[in-house]
C-alpha cells in the first residue's frame, strides 16, 4: 500500500511538471490572476496574490465563494491553500509555465479533484 501511494505521488508530480515548457528562475507572482478549473475547465475564478520571498498570501474568488489564500513558490513548483469562511479548504499543486501562467491540480476538503490553469491578468 505504501509503495502504491509513493508511485501515485511520483506519477502526479511528473504530470504536474510535464505540462509547461518555459520555467522562470525567480518568478514574482504578486498581482491579479484568473484561473479555470473543474470538468473541462468550465469554472472560473480570480485571485490576488502578494509575494514576499517565496511566501504567498492573498484572496481568491470563485463559484465556492471568497477564500483566504497562503502558499509558496519554489520555482517551478507552486503550492497554494485556500480556506473559505465556512471552513472548507482547497489545495493547488502546480508548475509555473512562465512568469504569467501555471498549470496543475487541485483537491478540496470535500473530495473534489481536478486540473487547474491560471494566468496573470
Domain count within the chain: 1
Task: Return the closest-CA partner of residue 91 out of 76, 75, 104, 73.
Answer: 104
Mean pLDDT of 20-32: 80
Residue 19 predicted with pLDDT over 90: no
CATH number of the domain to which 91 belongs: 2.40.128.120
Domain extent for 102: 2-120
The pLDDT value given to residue 51: 97
pLDDT above 80: residue 117: yes
| Dihedral angle of Cα 92, 59, 44, 120, to the nearest 10 degrees | -80
Amino acid at each position: 500500500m505504501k509503495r502504491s501511494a509513493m508511485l501515485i505521488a511520483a506519477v502526479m508530480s511528473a504530470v504536474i511538471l510535464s505540462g509547461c515548457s518555459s520555467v522562470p528562475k525567480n518568478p514574482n507572482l504578486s498581482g491579479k490572476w484568473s484561473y479555470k478549473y473543474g470538468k473541462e475547465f468550465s469554472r472560473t475564478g480570480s485571485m490576488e496574490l502578494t509575494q514576499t520571498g517565496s511566501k504567498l498570501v492573498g484572496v481568491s474568488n470563485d463559484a465556492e465563494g471568497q477564500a483566504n489564500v497562503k502558499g509558496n513558490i519554489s520555482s517551478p513548483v507552486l503550492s497554494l491553500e485556500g480556506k473559505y469562511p465556512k471552513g472548507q479548504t482547497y489545495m493547488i499543486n502546480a508548475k509555473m509555465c512562465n512568469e504569467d501562467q501555471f498549470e496543475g491540480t487541485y483537491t478540496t476538503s470535500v473530495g473534489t479533484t481536478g486540473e487547474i490553469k491560471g494566468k496573470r491578468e
